Amino acid sequence: MRKTLATVAIMLLVFSLVPLGCTKSSENDEEAIRTLLNSSAYTNEEQTRGYGADDSTPTQGGGGFLAGSLYDGYDTIPFVRFRRFIPAGGISRTIVINIPAYPAYPDTTALATINSDIQGKFLNCFDTTTNPLYVWRKSVHDQAVRKVYLTKHDNRWHVRKLSPLEFTTVDPAYELRVVELSAHATSWPVSDTFCLITADTLLTRDELPCFVPADTVTVWVTATTTGDSCWAFLHHGRPKWPFRWRRPYFKTGTMTFERTWHIGPEGYERPQVRPSGHDAIGWSTLLGDSSKPYVAAAWGVPYIVKNPDEQIPEE
């Protein structure tokens, strides 16, 4: 009897230790995943910040504290200068991790959801008849979501797939969304086109747009709205300053836009992961005073610049 009780006590002790061990392992895995996602060029905060305070570099002419209207001709978009000012601490990121990634998947898989809360000011100027010029200010409150699928091997976690970074305005006056993004590079076969029709798509690193230095890239964007019309802008360039640009798309339809850009003046580091943003902004947000609401939406998609004989960058 004593032997039986002793055996039962030992078994209970062993089983009581199992959850503690699993919990500690799970905490270590989550910490490792967060560290990876915060440092990876595919998923770090620079992918979000390209949409914020640093998007006012002029492409030609202009200057001053609202630097650059970023237009290619008055026949394309009316005169407007604008900037999103996102102060230090204006972006708050949280990462929610599920291990395993999905029910019945192994514990060596994970699905991470990166949520960013973005707050700041939108400054715009569209009237050149006043002296001094009127600069209007509107509150910015956007959110961005990205999902990342990871696997673990050799005791390390690795980014396997990621979705576009989808930006939307919190509690907008009307709904505005990007709904399609396509791209084609001159270095690709004629039949090849990168195409996204939902922000829920998980892309492997091999499926991300990949360009060679001096490539010419044509991009098409479609947006949809329940209210005001919009204009779209392209953000691209190095992960960090000083080479990052924002350029307007050309409108090809009521809510469709097209733009060509050249890979080259963004510096010479390669292979390299660079952020791109495809940014739709409400018409009255751009060309209205402070009484008009701020409404915007965007997709952020990393792209890779490398020569054909170079490897796609690791995480």
Amino acid present at 297: A
φ, ψ dihedrals at 276, nearest 5°: -125, 145
Q: What is the pLDDT of residue 247?
A: 84
Domain count within the chain: 1
Residue 311 lies in a domain: no
pTM: 0.85
Residue 69 lies in a domain: yes
pLDDT tens for residues 217-233? 999 999 999 999 999 99
Extract the runs of DSSP E, i.e. beta strands, from the chain.
Answer: 81-85, 91-98, 109-125, 136-153, 156-162, 165-169, 176-185, 194-196, 203-204, 210-211, 216-225, 230-237, 244-248, 250-251, 256-262, 272-282, 296-305
Residue 209 near residue 194 (C-beta atoms within 8 A)? yes
Checking if the pLDDT of 69 tops 60, the result is no
Query: For the ranges 48-57, 129-138, 248-257, 298-307, which has the lowest average pLDDT?
Result: 48-57
φ, ψ dihedrals at 101, nearest 5°: -60, -40
Checking if the pLDDT of 207 tops 70, the result is yes
Higher-confidence position of 78 and 285: 285
Three-state secondary structure call for residue 113: strand
The pLDDT-based confidence of 21 (bands split at 50, 70, 90) is very low
Q: 111: domain range? A: 2-305
- Share the mean pLDDT of the chain: 84
Q: What is the pLDDT of residue 258?
A: 93
Give the β-pairing of 109-125 and 250-251.
Answer: unpaired
The pLDDT-based confidence of 4 (bands split at 50, 70, 90) is very low
Query: For the ranges 13-17, 40-44, 149-153, which has the lowest average pLDDT?
Result: 13-17
Residue 312 lies in a domain: no
Higher-confidence position of 62 and 203: 203
Residue 260 lies in a domain: yes
**Eight-class DSSP state of 206:** G
Residue 249 near residue 261 (C-beta atoms within 8 A)? no
Q: What is the pLDDT of residue 79?
A: 81
Give the Cα separation of 34 and 23 in Å (integer).
Answer: 16
Query: For the ranges 29-43, 45-59, 102-116, 222-236, which has the lowest average pLDDT?
Result: 45-59
Residue 313 lies in a domain: no
Query: What's the whole-number mean pLDDT along residues 255-277?
Result: 85
Which ranges constitute the DSSP H helices of the chain?
2-39, 46-49, 283-287
Checking if the pLDDT of 59 tops 70, the result is no
Residue 310 lies in a domain: no
Amino acid present at 33: I
Residue 262 lies in a domain: yes
Residue 29 lies in a domain: yes
How many C-beta atoms surround the C-beta of residue 198 within 10 A?
10
